[in-house]
Amino acid sequence: MNLFRSEEHARRWPAFQPRAEEGFITLAALAGFFGTETRRHMLDPDYLSTWYPRRAAERRAYLEQIDKRSPF
Amino acid sequence: MADPLLMDRMFQRIMRGLVETGRAPHYAELARALGLPVEEGRRLLHDVMQAYPIGWLHPDTDYIASFPPLNNLPTQYRVTVRGAQRWFAQCGFEATSVTWLFPGETVRIDAPCLDCGDPVTVEMRDGRIVWIDPPGVIGHLNYGFGPSRGRPPFL
């Protein structure tokens, strides 16, 4: 899960997997994906028991919202 | 599994320790802080990591290697807050959620592009992107979470 200067740079990376074409995500979408509600509570005293268990469903919903459904 | 309240307390000690110092505490320090015998602290750490599987201990040790969004083991994703580069993000994706650990602060992420080595810089504040250089910076997931997932060299 890396940041590149552009898509072209990512494609030139020797470790780039051709099947990972679906793996591109804009920085704005990435900030949204990693800024869903639960991630905003990491400093709360009950994060592990209350917030973390909600994370996966929330992230799946966000990916659907931005039309990224395939986990390839 | 251990008492959920105790696990929450240890989780917070680790996360806040990372935020305050850039390093994850050792289980002996965590045990002392929580008023536990050292061995109980070690076992509790394993329970916490099992409940937070997006992080991990260094293989065959009790040392915290990764506790996302931050990493105890240096990565290429350097995080700077208030002019101090004290932190590392677990990966380029988790780097964008470090902002939530520093409310009201500008969080700067610097990394070399894995293709050319030239810099990639992103600044965020309270979840908002406030600076990107170059403007075309993009995230890329090289392995999915489905059948194609193997070992995670991309981290």
Which chain B residues touch A15 with a CB distance below 8 Å? 114, 142, 153-154
Would you tell me which residues 20-49 of chain B have a C-beta closer than 8 angstroms to some C-beta of chain A?
48
CATH number, span B4-66: 1.10.10
HSE-up (13 A, CA, CB side) for residue B119: 8
φ/ψ (deg, to 5) at B124 = -135, 150
Count CB atoms within 10 A of the CB of residue B136: 15
Distances from the Cα of B111 to the Cαs of A64, B39, B45, B87, in angstroms?
Answer: 29, 38, 30, 12
Which chain A residues touch B99 with a CB distance below 8 Å? 35
Residues linked to residue B7 through DSSP beta bridges, in sequence order: none
CATH 1.10.10: which residues of chain B? 4-66
> B50 touching A, CB under 8 A?
no
Closest CA to B26 of B17, A47, B87: B17
Per-residue confidence in pLDDT tens, chain B, 155 aa: 789 999 999 999 999 999 999 999 999 999 999 999 999 999 999 999 999 999 999 999 999 999 999 999 999 999 999 999 999 999 999 999 999 999 999 999 999 999 999 999 999 999 999 999 999 999 998 877 655 555 443 33
